[in-house]
Amino acid sequence: MKREEVLMEALPFIQQFHGKTMVVKLGGHAMVDPGILEDAIRDAVLLQFVGIRVVLVHGGGPEITEKMKALGKEPKFVGGLRVTDTDTLEVAQMVLVGKIQSNIVSLISKCGGKGVGLSGTDGNMILARKMERQKVKIGEKEEEVDLGHVGEIEMIKPDLLTALLDSDYIPVVSPIAIDRFGNNLNINADTAAGDIAVALRACKLISMTDVDGVMDTRRTKLYRQLTFTEAERMFQDGTLSGGMIPKVKSLMEAVKNGVPNAHIINGNTPHNLLLELFTLDGVGTMFTL
C-alpha cells in the first residue's frame, strides 16, 4: 500500500477517535528493551498530537524479580503467584515508580509530549483491599496462601487523570494502590488498566504484549475479532490458556463494563499500535460484546 493510501485509510479513524480517551497497557518485552519501549511511546505521543487522550499503565514483574536478586533477596512464588512481603513491596515500588515510570515519562518528553508519572496512591486514585487468602495447587494438594501486600481494586477515582488529560498531559500509571488504612498494595497491571478504562469511559483499552493476539490451538490462525461469547467458549475448550487467561479476562471485564472495544497487540513490532487503530484490518485481536 502506498503511503498516501495509508494516510487516507487512517483519516476516518483519526476523525472518529478525536477527543476520545484510550488506555494503553504497556507490558511484555517493551519493559526491558529500550528500543521497543521508545517506539511504543513515540506512537502514544503521536496519538496525543492527533487529539486522542492517552493514559499509559505499565507493569514490571520481570524487572522486580531481577532487582530483588541483585539485592540478594530471593523472589517467592506459590502456585505461580508472587508473594509480596514488606521487602518485596519496597522493591516493587522502587522499580515501578522510581525506574520504569520515570523512564517512560522521560521518553514522552524526548518524543515531544508531556508526561506525568502517577501511582494509584496519588490522590487516592486506586483504592484497594488486601487480597484474601488464595487457593493454589502445590503438588497434588490445594492450599490457602496469604500473598502478603497484594491488593484487589475496590474503586478508581479518575478525577486526577481527567484533570491531566484536560491539560494535554499523558498520565503514566504504576500499579501501586492504597487501602482505606493508608497502606500500599501491589496490584495487577492488566486489572488496573481495565478498571481505569472503565472509570474514564474510554473508547478503547489496548494491551501491548509479546504475542500477536489470540491464536487457535495450532498457533496458525490469528483471530482478528472476538465477541464476549466466543472468548468464553475459548476459555472452556482450552484455546485460551496460561498467561492469556488473566489478560483476556481483564479485557473482557472492561468490555462488559462499558468499554466498547479492547485489543491485544504485539508490542514488539514497531508501530503496531497505530496499525491496529488506524487501519481496516488491524494487526491484533479486538474484543467486543
User: Among candidates 172, 146, 288, 169, which has minimal Cα distance to 231?
Assistant: 288
pLDDT given at position 1: 59
Cell numbers given for 55: 493514559
In a domain, 5, yes or no: no
pLDDT given at position 134: 83
Tell me which of 63 and 167 has the higher pLDDT.
167
Q: How far apart are CA 155 and CA 128, in angstroms?
A: 7
For the segment 223-231, the average pLDDT, to the nearest whole number, is 92
In a domain, 288, yes or no: no
Residue 246 has pLDDT above 90, yes or no: no
Query: Average pLDDT, whole number, for the chain?
Result: 92
Tell me which of 7 and 278 has the higher pLDDT.
278
Look up the CATH number of the domain holding residue 117.
3.40.1160.10
In a domain, 111, yes or no: yes
Domain that holds residue 153: 19-276
> CB under 8 Å, gap of 24 or more: what pairs does 63-72 form?
63/31, 63/32, 63/95, 63/99, 63/100, 64/88, 64/91, 64/92, 64/95, 64/96, 67/91, 67/94, 67/95
* Reported pTM: 0.94
Q: Which residues contact 284 (CB under 8 A, 6 or more apart)?
A: 212, 213, 222, 224, 263, 264, 265, 266, 272, 276
In a domain, 284, yes or no: no
pLDDT given at position 128: 98
Q: Which of 3-7, 133-137, 213-217, 221-225 has the highest mean pLDDT?
A: 221-225
For the segment 174-189, the average pLDDT, to the nearest whole number, is 96
DSSP H helices, 58-144, are 61-70, 86-93, 102-110
pLDDT given at position 2: 62
Q: How far apart are CA 231 and CA 266, in angstroms?
A: 19
pLDDT band at 175 (very low <50, low <70, confident <90, very high): very high
In a domain, 119, yes or no: yes
**b/e per residue 58-69 (b: at least 16 CB within 10 A):** bbbbebbbebbe
**Pairing state of beta strands 77-78 and 81-82?**
antiparallel
pLDDT in tens, 115-145: 999 999 999 999 999 999 888 776 677 888 8
pLDDT band at 241 (very low <50, low <70, confident <90, very high): confident
pLDDT in tens, 53-106: 999 999 988 889 899 999 999 888 775 678 899 999 999 999 999 999 999 999
Residue 157 has pLDDT above 90, yes or no: yes
pLDDT given at position 79: 59
Residue 20 has pLDDT above 70, yes or no: yes
pLDDT given at position 268: 93
How many domains are contained in the chain? 1
pLDDT in tens, 25-49: 999 888 888 999 999 999 999 999 9
In a domain, 69, yes or no: yes
Cross-strand bridge partners of residue 226: 287
In a domain, 239, yes or no: yes
